[in-house]
A and B are shown apart, each in its own frame.
Chain A
Amino acid sequence: MVISGESVRLVSDTALVQRTLRSGQKVSFGGNVVVLGDVNPGAEIIADGHVVVLGALRGVVHAGAHGDCSATVLASSLLPTQIRIASYITRPPDGQPLPEAFCPEVAFLKDGEVVIEKYVISK
Chain B
Amino acid sequence: MGVVYVVTSGKGGVGKTTTTANLGCGLARLGKQVVMLDTDIGLRNLDVVLGLENRIVYDVVDVVQGRCRLKQALIKDKRFENMYLLPAAQTKDKTAVSEVQMVELIEALKPQFDYILIDCPAGIEHGFKNAIAGADRAIVVTVPEVSAVRDADRIIGLLEAAGLTEPHLIINRIRTRMVQNGDMMSVEDMLEILAVDLLGIVPDDDSIVTSTNRGEPAVLDDLSRAGLAYRNITQRLCGDEVPLLDLSEKDGFLNRLKSLFATR
* Interface, chain A (partner B; CB < 8 A): 20, 22-25, 38, 40-42, 58
Q: How far is the CB of B156 from chain A (nearest CB, A)?
A: 6
Give the CA-CA distance A58 to B189 in the complex, in Å: 13
Q: How far is the CB of A112 from chain B (nearest CB, A)?
A: 32
Among the listed A24, A38, A41, which residue makes an inter-chain contact with B157, where contact means beta carbons less than 8 Å apart?
A: A24
Q: Is the interface of A mostly helix, strand, loop or mixed?
A: loop
With beta carbons under 8 angstroms apart, the residue of A22, A38, A41, A58 that contacts B156 is: A22
- A24: chain B residues at CB < 8 Å are 153-154, 157-158
Q: Chain B binding site: helix, strand, loop or mixed by DSSP?
A: helix
B150 touches A42 (CB 8 A): yes
Contact status B195-A23, CB under 8 Å: no
Query: How many contacts between A and B, using CB within 8 angstroms?
Result: 27
Interfacial residues, chain B to chain A (CB-CB below 8 A):
150-151, 153-154, 156-158, 160, 193, 195
Measured CB to CB, the nearest residue on chain B to A37 is: B195
What's the nearest-Cβ distance from chain A to residue B9, in Å? 13
Roughly how many angstroms separate A20 CA and B156 CA in the complex, as a whole number?
12
List chain A residues, Cβ under 8 A from B151.
Answer: 23
Q: How distant is the Cα of A58 from the Cα of B151 in the complex, in angstroms? A: 15
Tell me the minimal C-beta distance from A94 to chain B in angstroms: 15
Closest residue on chain B to residue A21 by CB atoms: B157
Q: Which residues of B contact A40 (CB under 8 A)?
A: 153, 193
Residues of B within 8 A of A42 (CB): 150, 153-154
How far is A41 from B151 in the complex, measured between Cα atoms in Å? 10
Contacts of B160 in A (CB 8 A): 22
8 closest pairs, A vs B, by CB?
A22-B157, A23-B153, A23-B154, A24-B154, A22-B153, A40-B153, A23-B150, A42-B150
